[in-house]
Amino acid sequence: MLPWLTFDCYDTLVRYSEGKAAALAKLVRAKGGDDAAVDAAQVIFEGREREIQNGPFLSLSAVLGESLRSALAAAGLECTPADGITIIEAVCNADPFCRCRPCPTRPQT
């Protein structure tokens, strides 16, 4: 059995919020939304995300997907499965903050 260590790194080590916000703005604009639609979607996304996180456990992808559906609906836009993949990929590919060192490929023992 391999030992594992996990911890919450979102907005501590990686630019989680920035990546999400940029992906959401890009999705809204690609669907014809203007700056007001981007702002409205962002407010709804953040509020819905916090609301879901305070409830029973859900995977991060489920939290992001539901937050995205609510945000796009509030902006009068359709949410597709591809949109959900886009927001999840934005989180998975979030850049680290500049003060963080690269992660080793193998745990140090």
Q: For position 52, which CATH number holds? A: 1.10.150
pTM given for the model: 0.79
Specify if 52 maps to a domain.
Answer: yes
Q: Which residue has the higher pLDDT, 18 or 9?
A: 18
Specify if 24 maps to a domain.
Answer: yes
Residue 33 to residue 77: CA distance in whole angstroms? 8
Q: Is the pLDDT of residue 91 over 60?
A: yes
Q: Is the CB of residue 23 less than 8 Å from the CB of residue 87?
A: yes
Q: Which residue has the higher pLDDT, 94 or 54?
A: 54
Q: Which domain holds residue 29?
A: 20-92
Residue 3 to residue 7: CA distance in whole angstroms? 14
Count the domains in the chain.
1
Q: Is the pLDDT of residue 72 over 80?
A: yes
Residues in the chain: 109
